[in-house]
Structure 1
């Protein structure tokens, strides 16, 4: 099965010639009220900008630098909260899974299931997510070349799911650093893939914060603008009302005003280059 472009996520077409699709939300569910508050806030901002949007948040951050790091409320409670967001806020919801046993329960609640970057080559997980029929957000591993992620995407296609979004989130560059090779977007799109840019995880400094992941928030806008010029189909960012107090990935997260500014800049570049319709 070959790569389709555009794909369909949550009833929206995503790909060449389509509107920018935005995925945004806090890294993890810190509390029920916090998650609901952010979902309503981001719905208002993306509605004002006129972009299709999915709320993202994790119920369990299983891949952490330290075993003492905050992980979230867990599968059962986390999915209950995400279902409430989907039902009450009325927005599509994305979350990530780390084990095949979580795929079934997650698929009953969310619209898009994300495969974490470190697990992007886990065949059983990719195939299980694909077989749910939900949208698939396949994070490109920090150790995977752009031209090689097509092999992971093909696992999902061959499991019967054409709606796979491939997300760039930086590549390992020495120790405690990531870089984004802008040529990768062209290479992935040449393979027929719908391509997303994770602008906030791409500025991580992995394990550089004395047992925690550090980050360089000030470069998020720069990289997002560059990726927009390179021709992305979707934008992924983590947003927190107070990033410096976030329990996970705060140094990389945007506050609401920064998020709105970044999306506006990306849309402006897409319009100038003829990537954004209407």
Structure 2
């Protein structure tokens, strides 16, 4: 299969490039270009809506006698998609935009209207200041007040930034040191609490008190109940202060204090003894004489 695009071309031996006439094109000639519509518009002939970005095969030409400073202004020709009516628009470098010449009506764009209103307001303000010096003075006073407010806000921001720069060295180191000190103090308190807990669970001799398991506790409780039932009631409550538990019952880890011996019972008092303890009035008087 041969090459579709060849790299070498045949030049006949009798070829003379000087005999080829030069193509002279005028400055006002039109060039075919492919473009997209720079704005949305509506055809005046059929009312067809043409959206922004619609592609067209257009013709471009330079506008004779119209320039913005040294920038050339160009005109474009397109045709409506529905009725093939010719639509022309040209560049507007002064406003960085495009301007419709004929064949279509540009759709309303609110930002363009706001810009026009802003320019009109500024023009009215300038004319008002030229004709009314009092109004010009008020406007200058208002502008001066606004500038002073802006300067005050800037000074406040600078003060806050300077304050933050001053805090950077000493205060940050102090905050780090205080944090480390608080951490060490907390660790010391935890160690002290742990030591107190160990001391609380030790006996007087230094031996560690083991926690009794559940089975041993149940067995001890059962033995206590059985011993309480076995001891007679008269022996348990014979004397005040006597221990309910017998001394022979040994409980691991618990010391039972022995009860004090009951005092000897006193002899029952008789009537003669009670009368003999008191003397008569006559005996007291004879003894005094």
- TM-score class, shorter: under 0.3
Q: TM-score, normalised by structure 1?
A: 0.15
TM-score by length of 2: 0.15
Q: Larger radius of gyration, structure 1 or 2? A: 2
Greater RCO structure (CA 8 Å; 6+ sep): 1
